[in-house]
Amino acid sequence: MRIRAAHLAELTALQDIERAAGVWFREIGMDPIADDEPLSVTELAPYVRAGLAWVAAREDGRPVAYLIADRVDGNLHVEQVTVHPDSARRGVGRALLEHAAERARGEGAAALTLTTFTGVPWNAPYYGRCGFRVLAECELTPGLREIRRAEAAHGLDRWPRCCMRREV
């Protein structure tokens, strides 16, 4: 797999990856998450234009996974990282996280942050194995608090969630 910047022409492929990955949530009874539509092309395009969208691509150039990020409170915040089920459990997601960590270091950010489900094996437990730690409520920055408010408004708090941080 090669990690590279995402292209605007690939945004529908990223949506397809997101839809396919919904199968994992369906298998653990989180059907509303599985059925949630991915970000629209209009919503994804700014990440590409800002240089904050990367794909893991096969030899033929076709993306099999992607990561999009934002800058939040001086850190690089992983907004979404998704691997197509056909490429799962091969280190692809970890490679994307490592790429984001290198980018964060290069920008002078202190950390990568993200929000995730605590009880989903490929979410918080996985990120813990990738060097992230759960943040206590008192450690949340204003930007992370706002992200959590938006997630709750979207209904994601039906399942326990947390904020996590990895120093870079």
How confident is the model at residue 33, as a pLDDT?
A: 92
Give the structural domain span for 129: 2-167
One digit per residue, pLDDT tens: the chain, 168 residues?
899 999 999 999 999 999 999 999 999 999 999 999 999 999 999 999 999 999 999 999 999 999 999 999 999 999 999 999 999 889 999 999 999 999 999 999 999 999 999 999 889 999 999 999 999 999 999 999 999 999 999 999 999 999 999 999
How confident is the model at residue 1, as a pLDDT?
A: 86
How confident is the model at residue 89, as a pLDDT?
A: 86
- CA distance readout (Å), 52 to 22, 80, 101, 137, 147: 23, 11, 12, 27, 17
How confident is the model at residue 134, as a pLDDT?
A: 98
Number of domains in the chain: 1
Q: What is the CATH number of the domain that holds 147?
A: 3.40.630.30
Shortest CA distance to 148 belongs to which of 115, 118, 112?
A: 115
Residue 45, phi then psi, degrees to nearest 5: -55, -40
Describe the strand order of the beta sheet including 161-167 as a list of residue ranges: 2-5, 53-57, 63-72, 75-83, 111-117, 161-167, 133-134
Shortest CA distance to 146 belongs to which of 110, 113, 102, 109?
A: 113
